Structure 1
Amino acid sequence: MSRYKVLLFDLDGTLLDTAPGIIRIVRYTMEKMGLEEPAEIRRFLGPPLFRSMKDFCGLDDERAWEAVRIYREKYPVDGLLESERFDGVEDLLGTLKDIGYVLGVATSKPEPFARNLLEHFDMAKYFTFIGGSGVDGARDTKREVIEYVLEALNVTDRSRVLMIGDRQHDIIGANECGLESLYVLWGYGSREEAKECGAPAIAETPADCRKYIMSQI
């Protein structure tokens, strides 16, 4: 094993390709709210939904929470399972777990949705704890989700934790929690975003991710 002991994974764009279902239900929500579809709708992939509604649609808090409510009523019924596997990710998880790492999930997705999705794809078995945002609006930042997962895993030494994700929010959230991080490129981000958010390391593929983790002695 490397110097890391605990590995935290983002979900959307890191563990699974959930883009088809998310984009379809965002469009449904825009229609129900009487809003025009914002440019570059793929920006909704990754960030907390409430903040995306505010930042990308210009909604105030009340309207943004209404949009979140509409989305969360529809998504688990018609969008959640409209997801696909990423090549190599399950091999990565299985290898890391077999070696002895403690694996956790830290996602901005509501926790019940995350658990149901990973159970559906038979991937929940790799993780000691699956943590997400609260359906009541709790833990609406990546920092809060990460802190919640660290507490659940009884982490005492943060120097031995690595946060792995595909968007700037994963890197920024990790920094705010005093964690090291790894930006992956098989999801929804880009090399440009990784550079802009100050990602300390980048992995293009799941195989590269494993090599990086194992090289950190």
Structure 2
Amino acid sequence: MFDYIFFDLDGTLTDPALGITNSFIHALKYFGIEIPSYEKLCSFIGPPLPETFKTQFGFSEEKASEGVKKYREYFAEKGLLENSVYPGIPELLAELKNKGKKLVVATSKPEEYSVRIIEHFGLSKYFENICGSKMDETRSKKDEVIAYAIERNNISDKSKILMVGDRKHDILGAKKVGIKSCGVLFGYGSLEELNAAGADFIAENVSQLTNICVF
């Protein structure tokens, strides 16, 4: 049914919690803001950074840009690799590739960082390409990233694409572009969040995700 599988990165292929939370802590300390709980910090995994700084901390556009710069001071040096691949993901990717599926990373994380992460964990051999946002935070909305991935891979039939991700942004982005989506529950989104966004499929674990992707 699906020839192309688009994967989100954070909360879908890898667990980036340590690096992302430490990067937020670094930025918030700079602004003198009280550090939220670890659980609250983890809820920031997924959405574009400027959106989080504006909606969660009331930052202006200009201050949000400064917040992103401070976040990246830590992330680029340390946080990038304070990360781990979810168990079963390498095996999933190998099986899908062996079955002839074309795999693509479609993430709101900057493409430069995403390439480094995928290469560090030895996963680049499974992907046609890695599509992310630009360092200036343009092309950071999920529908923009998905549209970019479709164009970059010269896909004419969108019915052959499945977007896999753990947050509502992945599902809503897929719907806006007109492709099917699968929400995963081993990341940072809840069943309620993914259902409310309108996910076409839900996978509780990597095994279920495998069955959906090879369908």
Secondary structure, aligned partner of 2:80: coil
**Residue matched to 2:33:** 35
Matched with 1:13 is 11
Q: Deviations over 1:121-178 (max 9, x none)?
A: 0011110010111002210211111111111111100000000000000000000100
**What amino acid sits opposite 2:29 in the alignment?**
E
- Cα distance in structure 2, aligned partners of 1:200 and 1:136: 32
1:183-210 deviation digits (Å, cap 9, x = unpaired)? 0111111111112212121001111011
8 Å Cα contact 1:15/1:89 also seen in 2: yes
Seq. identity, %: 43
The question of 1:195 aligning with 2:195 is answered yes
Q: Does 2:173 match 1:173?
A: yes
Instruction: Give, in angstroms, the shift of residue 74 of structure 1.
Output: 2.1
Contact conserved, 1:165 with 1:184, CA < 8 A, in 2? yes
What is the deviation of 1:37?
2.6
In structure 1, distance between residues paired with 2:130 and 2:17: 20
Aligned to 1:72: 72
User: Within the alignment, does 1:163 sit opposite 2:168 as a pair?
Assistant: no
Give the letter aligned to residue 5 of structure 1: D
Give 5+ residue unaligned stretches, structure 1.
none
CA contact (8 A) 1:110 1:133 kept: yes
**Aligned match of 1:49:** 49
Mean CA deviation greater in 125-134 or 196-205: 196-205
Q: Does 1:184 align with 2:184?
A: yes
Q: Which moved more, 1:31-40 or 1:12-21?
A: 31-40
Q: Which runs of 5+ in 2 are unaligned?
A: none
- Take 1:119 and 1:18, find their aligned partners in 2: how far apart are those partners? 15
Q: Which residue of 2 aligns with 1:144?
A: 144
* Alignment pair present for 1:62 and 2:62: yes
**2:24 pairs with 1:26:** yes
Query: Displacement of 1:38 after TM fit?
Result: 4.2
CA distance in 2 between counterparts of 1:109 and 1:137 reads: 9
1:38/1:57 contact within 8 Å kept: no
SS of 1:80 mapped into structure 2: helix
Contact 2:159–2:179 (CA<8 Å) still a contact in 1? yes
For residues 145 and 73 of structure 2, the distance between their equivalents in structure 1, rounded to whole angstroms, comes to 21
CA contact (8 A) 1:182 1:199 kept: yes
* TM-score, normalisation: structure 2: 0.96
- The residue correspondences of 1:65-144 to structure 2 (distance < 5 A) are 65-144=65-144
- Distance, in Å, in 2 between the alignment partners of 1:85 and 1:214 is 21
1:154 is matched with: 154
Which stretch of the first structure deviates more once superposed, 188-197 or 33-42? Answer: 33-42
The CA distance in 2 between the partners of 1:36 and 1:174, in whole Å, is 35
**Partner secondary structure for residue 108 of structure 1:** strand
Most deviating of 194-203 and 96-105: 194-203
**Aligned-pair distance for 1:29?**
0.5
Q: Is the 8 A contact 2:109 2:140 kept in 1?
A: no
How many residue pairs match? The answer is 213
